């Protein structure tokens, strides 16, 4: 082991003596990696290929003790510190240049208590890990729509998916968490213990410490349910979206229908002549009785002339992974997002205009539908505050080659600017890119000052700053 040059939180470079590095290494059950070591590149790689950062040290944590050791080391040397769960966050804050990366992705255990309907989840678990273990008992809680996403980052920002209209945001189903705070303590956060911390981690991101265990309540779901896709031509998108917004107003909470505008992927149920053309797809899922579900989704089939339909009863786990092939890691991605309470005619026109000029085949615009149970808690019940949001719009710029960066980024930004007048001004913190620090307050919403106070209490030196950062002094 040799001395390591490493960056501090305020950007200075310091030398950490070899003995201190050796000491950390020997205290860990997992590996301590330096550039060039086997596994280093895997640890530093995140979902969005636009992010290519090289930490000076990687602590691959195998358990809570490793997290405590890594946090103590970071605090002692005042290091720039990044925390990686599933590595999916678009902004890429899960990895830093020249600092310490605390990599939790090896801690993937999910333990289910089917009697109490509780899941205890380690912070490296993916949504696929979670669904695998919970669905074995016909149980689930609302999480996102791509099985390789990490449960940790998703939960800490709020979290929503197909089940949210019925069971709320992911944070509404979090019953407790274990958190290693900047001072090295392991705290239990729940309604009864450290309630201020519990409030803050339900939407305030990774600002307050490292969560080493999440405890979720679970609901009976599936294990098979009605789900699938109904596809129309983009030429019918304006009228389809107008019918959709009226349909949504009367929609039961067991049904969720999301909208995607993009170029048709070569899906086997679409005729070959449709592949690559501009389409609008309605992705739907009904978590209750399948026959009831068929009745409830029937209007969607009349939003226009169906180009292709693939709807049926299938395992919930399969539906939870259905979009994985379109969301593989390693592509370049740039997102823009905001929330809507309704889809005005103007908002629809702008969306269809930009969806008809997609700059690269994998770019898409989607409206994720929430509402129902997500709107019932008071805005200050959790740090996630956007309880008025019904649609979460995401302009999903996605492409393969750096040569396409500027046209795809400009397309995403232009659409965002033109649609902003019809949106709420609020934004889901987990969809912010790394150039949107001006939107952080809007993302945290009215609870921002309370989050600052909580940050001052639990992380006064801002050790955990590689996130959508709440500055303790702000
Ligand atoms: C393809 C794709 C699909 C998505 N779909 C959805 C969706 O359907 N619904 C939805 O709600 N979101 C969705 N998201 C957004 C997702 O919620 C965020 O990207 C989330 O941050 C991912 O969590 P992660 O653990 O994988 O991320 P990471 O990048 O590992 O972590 C994100 C941040 O969280 C913090 N963090 C991570 N782990 C911990 C921890 N244990 N303790 C403290 N802080 C921690 C760190 O600050 C880190 O920078 C999607 C993202 C992608 C890329």
pLDDT, tens only, 446-472: 999 999 999 999 999 999 999 999 999
pLDDT-derived band at 474 (thresholds 50, 70, 90) equals low
For residues 270-299, average pLDDT? 97
For residues 107-131, average pLDDT? 98
Separation between Cα atoms, residue 63 and residue 245, nearest integer Å: 47
Torsion sign, CA atoms 405, 406, 411, 412: positive
pLDDT-derived band at 1 (thresholds 50, 70, 90) equals confident
Question: What separation in Å is there between the alpha carbon of 151 and the centre of ligand 1?
Answer: 7
| Residue identifier of the C-alpha nearest atom 41 of ligand 1 | 211
Separation between Cα atoms, residue 416 and residue 462, nearest integer Å: 31
The pLDDT score that the predictor gives to residue 233 is: 97
Separation between Cα atoms, residue 135 and residue 89, nearest integer Å: 25
Residue range 411-436, pLDDT digits in tens: 999 999 999 999 999 999 999 998 98
**Which residues sit with their C-beta closer than 6 Å to ligand 1?**
46-47, 83-90, 93-94, 104, 123, 144-146, 149-150, 152-154, 156-157, 159-161, 205-206, 210-211, 327, 430, 466-467
Question: What separation in Å is there between the alpha carbon of 86 and the centre of ligand 1?
Answer: 7
DSSP string, 372-437: GGGGSS-TTSSS---TT-SEEEEEEEEES-GGGHHHHHHHHHHHHHHHGGGS-S---GGG--TT-G
For residues 360-366, average pLDDT? 96
Element (DSSP H or E) covering residue 248: helix 237-249
Question: What separation in Å is there between the alpha carbon of 275 and the centre of ligand 1?
Answer: 31
Beta bridge partners of 113: 118
| Residue identifier of the C-alpha nearest atom 17 of ligand 1 | 154
Question: What separation in Å is there between the alpha carbon of 85 and the centre of ligand 1?
Answer: 7
Question: What separation in Å is there between the alpha carbon of 156 and the centre of ligand 1?
Answer: 8
The residue to mutate among 150, 160, 333, 465, having the most atoms of ligand 1 within 8 angstroms of its beta carbon, is 150
Statement: residue 53 has pLDDT above 70: yes
DSSP string, 89-112: -TT-TTS-SSSEEEE-TT---EEE
Contact status, residue 92 vs residue 434, Cβ threshold 8 Å: yes
Cα atoms in the Cβ-side hemisphere of radius 13 Å centred on 85: 31
**Residue for token digits 């396409």?**
404
Provide the pairing of β-strand 139-140 with 219-220: antiparallel
Closest ligand 1 atom number to CA of residue 169: 11
265 DSSP 8-state letter: P
Report the candidate in 184, 157, 153 with the shortest Cα–Cα distance to residue 169.
157
Report the candidate in 88, 85, 82 with the shortest Cα–Cα distance to residue 101.
82
pLDDT-derived band at 188 (thresholds 50, 70, 90) equals very high
The residue to mutate among 89, 205, 432, having the most atoms of ligand 1 within 8 angstroms of its beta carbon, is 89
Closest ligand 1 atom number to CA of residue 179: 42
For residues 18-34, average pLDDT? 97
Closest ligand 1 atom number to CA of residue 88: 26
pLDDT-derived band at 473 (thresholds 50, 70, 90) equals confident
62 DSSP 8-state letter: -
Report the candidate in 430, 474, 466, 467 with the shortest Cα–Cα distance to residue 74.
466
| Residue identifier of the C-alpha nearest atom 15 of ligand 1 | 430
Closest ligand 1 atom number to CA of residue 327: 1
- Size of the chain in residues: 474
Cis, peptide link before residue 26, omega less than 30° from 0? no
Could you tell me which residues come within 8 angstroms of residue 317 by beta carbon, excluding any fewer than 6 positions away?
128, 131, 132, 135, 222, 223
Contact status, residue 92 vs residue 84, Cβ threshold 8 Å: no
DSSP string, 332-343: EEEEEEEEESS-
Q: Model pTM?
A: 0.97
The pLDDT score that the predictor gives to residue 216 is: 98
What value does the mean pLDDT of the chain take?
97
The residue to mutate among 42, 43, 144, 331, having the most atoms of ligand 1 within 8 angstroms of its beta carbon, is 144
Closest ligand 1 atom number to CA of residue 428: 11
**Residue for token digits 């109490």?**
116
For residues 285-294, average pLDDT? 97
**What are the structure tokens assigned to 224, written together?**
């098979």
Closest ligand 1 atom number to CA of residue 159: 11
456 DSSP 8-state letter: H
Element (DSSP H or E) covering residue 213: strand 210-217
Closest ligand 1 atom number to CA of residue 154: 17
Separation between Cα atoms, residue 21 and residue 24, nearest integer Å: 5
Residue range 70-110, pLDDT digits in tens: 999 999 999 999 999 999 999 999 999 999 999 999 999 99
Report the candidate in 188, 203, 261, 243 with the shortest Cα–Cα distance to residue 389.
203
Separation between Cα atoms, residue 28 and residue 66, nearest integer Å: 5
Question: What separation in Å is there between the alpha carbon of 212 and the centre of ligand 1?
Answer: 15
Separation between Cα atoms, residue 308 and residue 283, nearest integer Å: 12
- R_g (Cα) of the chain, nearest Å: 22
Question: What separation in Å is there between the alpha carbon of 149 and the centre of ligand 1?
Answer: 6
Closest ligand 1 atom number to CA of residue 209: 43
Could you tell me which residues come within 8 angstroms of residue 129 by beta carbon, excluding any fewer than 6 positions away?
108, 110, 151
Separation between Cα atoms, residue 211 and residue 197, nearest integer Å: 11
Separation between Cα atoms, residue 294 and residue 332, nearest integer Å: 37
Question: What separation in Å is there between the alpha carbon of 239 and the centre of ligand 1?
Answer: 34
Q: Percentage of residues in the chain with pLDDT exceeding 70?
A: 100
321 DSSP 8-state letter: T
């Amino acid at each position: 082991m040799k001395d390591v040059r490493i960056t501090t939180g305020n950007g200075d470079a310091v030398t950490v003596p070899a003995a201190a590095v050796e000491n950390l290494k020997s205290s860990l059950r997992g590996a301590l990696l330096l550039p060039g070591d086997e596994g280093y590149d895997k640890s530093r790689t995140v979902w969005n290929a636009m992010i290519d950062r090289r930490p000076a040290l990687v602590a691959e944590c195998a358990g809570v003790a490793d997290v405590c050791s890594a946090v103590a080391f970071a605090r002692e040397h005042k290091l720039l510190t990044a925390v990686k769960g599933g590595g999916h966050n678009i902004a890429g804050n899960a990895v830093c240049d020249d600092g310490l990366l605390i990599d939790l992705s090896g801690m993937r255990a999910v333990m289910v208590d089917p009697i109490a309907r509780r899941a205890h989840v380690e912070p490296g678990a993916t949504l696929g890990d979670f669904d695998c273990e919970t669905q074995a008992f016909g149980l689930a809680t609302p999480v996102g729509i791509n099985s390789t996403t990490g449960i940790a980052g998703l939960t800490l920002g709020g979290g929503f998916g197909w089940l949210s209209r019925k069971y709320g945001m992911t944070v509404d189903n979090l019953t407790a968490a274990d958190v290693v705070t900047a001072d090295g303590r392991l705290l239990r956060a729940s309604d009864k213990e450290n309630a201020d911390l519990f409030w803050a981690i339900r939407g305030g991101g990774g600002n307050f410490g490292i969560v080493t265990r999440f405890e979720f309540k679970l609901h009976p779901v599936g294990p098979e349910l009605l789900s699938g896709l109904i596809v129309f031509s983009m030429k019918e998108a304006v009228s389809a979206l107008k019918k959709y917004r009226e349909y949504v107003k009367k929609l039961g909470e067991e049904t969720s229908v999301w909208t995607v505008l993009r170029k048709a992927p070569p899906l086997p149920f679409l005729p070959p002549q449709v592949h690559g053309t501009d389409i609008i797809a309605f992705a739907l899922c009904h978590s209750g009785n399948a026959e009831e579900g068929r009745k409830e989704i029937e209007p969607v089939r009349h939003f226009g002339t169906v180009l292709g339909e693939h709807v049926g009863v299938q395992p919930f786990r399969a539906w939870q992974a259905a979009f994985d092939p379109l969301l593989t890691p390693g592509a370049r991605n740039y997102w823009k997002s905001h929330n809507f309470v309704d889809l005005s005619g103007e908002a629809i026109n702008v969306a269809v205009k930009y969806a008809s000029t997609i700059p690269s085949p994998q770019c898409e615009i989607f409206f994720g539908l929430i509402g129902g149970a997500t709107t019932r808690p008071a805005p200050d019940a959790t740090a996630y505050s956007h309880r008025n949001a019904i649609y979460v719009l995401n302009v999903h710029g996605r492409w393969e080659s750096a040569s396409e960066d500027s046209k795809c980024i400009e397309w995403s930004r232009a659409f965002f600017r033109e649609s902003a007048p019809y949106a709420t001004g609020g934004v889901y913190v987990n969809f912010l890119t790394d150039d949107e620090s001006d939107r952080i307050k809007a993302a945290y919403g009215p609870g921002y000052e309370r989050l600052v106070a909580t940050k001052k209490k639990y992380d006064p030196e801002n050790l955990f700053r590689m996130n959508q950062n709440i500055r303790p002094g702000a």
